Amino acid sequence: MSREMLIEKIRKVPNFPIEGILFYDVTTLFKDAKALQQLSDDLYEMYKGKGITKVVGIESRGFIMGPILATRLDAGFIPIRKPGKLPAETIEQSYDKEYGQDTIQIHKDALDENDIIVLHDDLLATGGTMEAACELVKKMKPKKVYVNFLIELAELNGRALFGDDVEVEALITV
């Protein structure tokens, strides 16, 4: 399946979650077995051979492809969640996003200095959520951090938030 076909399968929902936002719904990719397999294969090809030890997925759509990628890479999966959702001791990071402010948390013992991380989420828009997630995992001093998205909205230039020490990749750019 080509990238163009994947793009065609993405549902675009105007004015969600608030007026003026065009939401790119990737659940239409996940419900199609061939599209899901293509996403899995493409993500694996991107990160195989890089020594990834943990895939960190951001709530909630990062919880879908993140564990699939982790399994393919023989790596662990770590969730980043909203406050109050993780049962053990956490560290957190607050941030501004396109339509409000939020906070994310990770278990304090989830990562260490020996880990090579892929941080994964579904969409790069303005980049606030992933920038916060990146800062959060960097507090744990991993060896390397890669940042990955299924979709990047290039015109919003969210990629500019990340320093040269972080490789940012997206499977689909629109």
Within a domain: 25: no
Q: What is the pLDDT of residues 73-87, one digit of tens each?
A: 999 999 999 999 999
Q: Give the bridge partners for 11, in sequence order.
A: 25
Q: What is the pLDDT of residues 1-60, one digit of tens each?
A: 788 899 999 999 999 988 988 999 999 999 999 999 999 999 999 999 999 999 999 999
pLDDT score for 56: 98
The structural domain count of the chain equals: 1
pLDDT score for 148: 98
> Considering the entire predicted model, what is its pTM?
0.94
Q: What is the pLDDT of residues 98-131, one digit of tens each?
A: 667 899 999 999 999 999 999 999 999 889 899 9
Cβ atoms of residues 46 and 23 within 8 Å: no
Within a domain: 160: yes
Within a domain: 35: no
- What one-letter code names the amino acid at 109? D
**Catalytic choice (61, 131, 152, 159):** 61
Q: Under 8 Å CB-to-CB from 97, ≥6 apart: which residues?
A: 126, 128, 129
Distance (Å, rounded) from C-alpha 20 to C-alpha 16? 8
**Catalytic choice (59, 92, 98, 169):** 98
How many H helices and E strands in the chain?
5, 9
Within a domain: 10: no
Within a domain: 71: yes
Question: Is 159 one of the annotated active-site residues of the chain?
Answer: no
pLDDT score for 99: 65
Within a domain: 143: yes
Distance (Å, rounded) from C-alpha 172 to C-alpha 8? 11
Within a domain: 82: yes
Cβ atoms of residues 167 and 121 within 8 Å: no
pLDDT score for 2: 87
Within a domain: 38: no
Once rounded to an integer, what is the mean pLDDT over residues 88-99? 87
Q: What is the pLDDT of residues 131-164, one digit of tens each?
A: 999 999 999 999 999 999 999 999 999 999 998 8
CATH of the domain at 112: 3.40.50.2020
| Residue range of the domain that includes 70 | 50-173
Question: Is 72 one of the annotated active-site residues of the chain?
Answer: no
